[in-house]
Amino acid sequence: MRIMREWQHLKMLKHAGRGHMCSGAMGTQPGELAVICPASPHPGINIPLEWANCPDNVK
Amino acid sequence: MHQDEPLKQWTPCRDKYLDELNRLEGRGQYTSDHCPSCSLISPSISADDLDLPCNRATVRCRDCFDEELVCTLCCVRDHAHNPLHVIEVHHTIISFCVACLLVFLQKWNGSYFEPTTLADIGLRIQLGHPPGKSCSNPHRGYDEFTVIHTNGLHHVHIDYCECDHFADHGSHRQQLLRRQWYPATHNEPQTCATFTVLKHFHMQNLQGKVAGYDYYSALEKLTDNAGMSKIKVGDFILFYFI
């Protein structure tokens, strides 16, 4: 099972694009490997940047 | 030795592992555009012939032990015995750049591997006869024939044997079963599951209580995790797994 832990860790690093970073895997910042929740609102991605200024009825 | 020790030794070296994983995404040591397999088969082949598109090393097999980049013809020839291997085609990105109302064809340096199938690059599976041998009177199977294997779902082109040896090779159903492909329906099957996948699922089901639906979903995701695959299997096949 250790192999599986190492494999899943490497896949996370790869998905986050750490393989091409000069600082390598050790330079990974906390939270960097997390997958952004696709259901949550992200300004500029699935809601407008100026969402706070939108009228209340479309918020 | 404490059980954490191997992980502690591994952690500082994980970049080396990551580099190797990234290397496998590219061409690796196979940097030549010429198919090495063509040159091996006919050493007399001239350099001009090697420039033909059919001899360009563009595809590789993900399931073969050696991930060598070969041309499509060699790939099809070498997979007569392994028709359910997963193939990737080396894809060069070509973009159209519009500037000053003129259209330029631009070839990027960047490139990537795109999934393809042995059926798409020309493999026809001849049942009845030994792999690689042709039949004098092949009967074309369904174009949308699907085979379920442990490495995913496969769209294949099959030919049944209807030549003079038809009596020895048996009916269409017998020809499938003798290749260890279990037909989903008794009459005119369009889907098969390999004996290997049935044994694998049976063991997973008994040992890990893996449900048929979950096992099949895993196979679908193994084939294409983005869900863009065109391969579809009729619901009836799920009865084998449920």
Per-residue pLDDT of chain B (242 residues; tens, 9 = 90+): 788 888 999 999 999 999 999 888 888 888 887 888 886 655 555 545 544 555 778 888 888 888 788 888 888 888 888 888 888 887 654 433 222 222 222 222 346 788 888 888 888 899 999 888 889 999 999 888 999 999 899 999 999 999 988 888 889 999 999 999 999 999 889 999 999 999 999 999 999 999 999 999 999 998 888 877 766 665 545 555 55
The C-alpha of B149 sits at a distance from chain A's nearest C-alpha, in angstroms, of 23
Per the prediction, chain A carries an average pLDDT of 88
Q: What is the pLDDT of residue B65?
A: 87
ipTM surpasses 0.85: no
Determine whether the interchain pair A2/B21 forms a contact, defined as Cβ–Cβ distance below 8 Å.
no
The C-alpha of B109 sits at a distance from chain A's nearest C-alpha, in angstroms, of 17
Chain A residues lying within 8 Å of B12, measured CB to CB: 26
Q: What is the pLDDT of residue B107?
A: 28
Q: Which amino acid is at A7?
A: W
Q: Which residue of B has its CA nearest to A28?
A: B15
Chain B residues lying within 8 Å of A19, measured CB to CB: 18-19, 21-22
Beta-ladder partners of B154: B147
From the number of C-beta atoms within 10 Å of its C-beta (0-12, 13-18, 19+), residue A5 rates as exposed
Chain B residues lying within 8 Å of A10, measured CB to CB: 14, 17-18, 21
pTM of the model: 0.77
The C-alpha of B18 sits at a distance from chain A's nearest C-alpha, in angstroms, of 6
